[in-house]
Structure 1
Amino acid sequence: MNLLLTGSTSGIGWETLKALLPHFDQLFLPVRNLEKAQKMIQSLPERQKIQLIPMDLSSMHSVKKGAQLILKSTDQIDLLINNAGGMYPGGKLTEEKLDLTFTTNHLGHFLLTLELLPALKKGQAKIINVSSEAHRIATSLNEDWGLRKAGNTINAYGKVKLYNILFSKELKSKFETDGIQAYALHPGAVKTAFGSETSFIAKAIIRATQLFFISPKAGAQTSIFLALTPKGKLKNGGYYDKKKPKNPSSIASDPKAATDLWNYSLDVLRELNLISI
């Protein structure tokens, strides 16, 4: 079986990688810093099963190129874990003039999943999207899907974590008949370098609450649970916390919002001439 895991070189992604390495034949790791990743995997057993893929999830052209490299190596993916993410200053743009929080936490994974659909369908894959209880901060969407008007770091992060859940639900709606299942999860408040690139206020909030945070190893447990539990024992489209299904916010359960986000994401990628559908 083949696994693709983003955000594998730090925090809960690293712990997820170590736990799942014995269970898969091939592991594809999209990484932004290739040199760092090469050094890190030297400490792992069975590292010969790992293939590093240069990819920056904030750059849609980089995601497209990385996905093409993956599909040259395999035509089947059994598990995709969209784990990477981050909190960034509101209004910070990428080279493609898109919001950095939006691209890193949602659009990059959206395009990656879209590009890999033939391999995901062949593997009748599970798709796991790492979300957060922070999605409850987003009490309204205001049609600003791309966060072009969102100047507040915390609010922007809440919205993209909401997107992770909506994305999972729309994947269920569109591809359940292909054997694909999708889930979102809250890993817990994890003690990592998360938020190091964000605003002073956001950093202060994170530091003030870090005494109550859990370890990356503990934070990875729900991802690992969803990865290794048979599909028949899981709720397709479900949101999980501490290895159990949990009701997300009312907006996260809105099928129209899920479809609207999907369509907006397609429109952005069309504008960049990256997809034709």
Structure 2
Amino acid sequence: MKTVVITGATSGIGLEVARLLAGQGFNVLGIGRDEARCRQAEASILSENPGARVACFAADLMQQREVVRIASVIRNLLDAQWNGELHALINNAGCVRSRYMTTEDGYEQQFALNHLAGFMLTHMLLPVLLKARGRVILTGSNSHKGIRVHWKDPMFRRWYNPLIAYKQSKLCNILFAKGLNDRYGNTGIRAYVVDPGLVKTDIGNKETGFLVNLVWSLRKRHGVPPAVPAETYLYLCRQEPAPEGLYYYLCKEKAYSRQVTSENANRLFEISRRLCGLDE
């Protein structure tokens, strides 16, 4: 039995991926921000798959202390029940903001949750991923194209544009995946980014201002149900041997930005390590 950890697992894409994987016999460990929604997600999945092995844990991954805490909980559970092995970590949690907002660590929230949380959680779970020759899957976006990392001020403290900050965070997702493959590809670990396309979720309606909320409410009407992109995550979890590509859309490889180079990936890796307070 293979175990998968999914962040942002209580709604939208994350919930549909959890539902799909649980129905395919995976052990599913979900992470959501709200305790009540964690229980609702578990109940929803179990109502469709009474024999599913699923558990959801509440953690605010925007805060680094919470990433450290939940990583410890998961590692202890894996060691106790599943031979200390993690088949896949799906870093799906994300947010959209309409103004400059920071975490308790002082980091811009889109950069903190969309990139640093997944970076830090992956680092904390690396031993159990290595043991399983596992996979790391990130939720990306086609919006990563046409943007560069603002290296001198990656959190846009001096000049903030929420849309640019979001797009940069999605570029960071694919640079992180590239960096993981460069560093750990020879160990059997593989990292991927899924482009879900336009999906009917509430990401643009959570803690956003009136205009962003309105625009997203209108735009998402043209999106596909979360169950559509969920199939790509299942594909990347099930394929044996692990696929060789990096960026996937509807279960097929897709072209990505020319900014995705080993040089940029390594530069982001070092910045992220410092911001997360991680030792080599």
Contact 1:172/1:182 (8 A) holds in 2: yes
Mapped partners of 1:205, 1:20: distance in 2: 32
Q: How big is the shift at 1:46?
A: 4.1
Q: Does 1:240 align with 2:248?
A: yes
Contact 1:187/1:241 (8 A) holds in 2: yes
Paired residues for 1:119-198 under 5 Å: 119-139=128-148, 141-196=150-205, 197-198=207-208
Q: Paired residue for 1:263?
A: 270
2:5 partner SS: strand
Give the alignment's Cα RMSD to 1 decimal: 1.8
1:148-181 Cα distance to aligned partner (Å, 9 max, x none):
3451111111000001100100000011111100
Q: How big is the shift at 1:225?
A: 2.0
Contact 1:131/1:185 (8 A) holds in 2: yes
1:42 partner SS: helix
Q: Paired residue for 2:21?
A: 20
Mapped partners of 1:90, 1:23: distance in 2: 40
Q: Paired residue for 2:238?
A: 228
Counterpart residue identity of residue 250, structure 1: R
Change in Cα spacing, 1:224 to 1:147, as seen in structure 2 (3 Å) is farther
Q: TM-score, normalised by structure 1?
A: 0.91
2:145 partner SS: helix
Q: How big is the shift at 1:73?
A: 0.9
Q: How big is the shift at 1:14?
A: 1.0
Q: Paired residue for 2:81?
A: none
Contact 2:63/2:103 (8 A) holds in 1: yes
Contact 1:153/1:202 (8 A) holds in 2: no
Counterpart residue identity of residue 56, structure 1: D
Mapped partners of 1:204, 1:254: distance in 2: 36
Q: TM-score, normalised by structure 2?
A: 0.90
Q: Does 1:249 align with 2:277?
A: no
Mapped partners of 1:192, 1:212: distance in 2: 11
Change in Cα spacing, 1:264 to 1:212, as seen in structure 2 (3 Å) is same
1:188-223 Cα distance to aligned partner (Å, 9 max, x none):
100111111223443343234333211111232222
Mapped partners of 1:269, 1:214: distance in 2: 35
What are structure 2's unaligned runs of at least 5 residues? 79-83
Contact 1:145/1:261 (8 A) holds in 2: no
1:202 to 195, 212, 221: 212
Percent of aligned pairs sharing the same letter: 29
Change in Cα spacing, 1:167 to 1:150, as seen in structure 2 (3 Å) is farther
Contact 2:4/2:87 (8 A) holds in 1: yes
1:220 partner SS: helix
Change in Cα spacing, 1:71 to 1:140, as seen in structure 2 (3 Å) is closer
Q: How big is the shift at 1:144?
A: 2.3
Q: How big is the shift at 1:53?
A: 2.5
Mapped partners of 1:48, 1:211: distance in 2: 32
Mapped partners of 2:202, 2:251: distance in 1: 24
How many corresponding residue pairs?
270
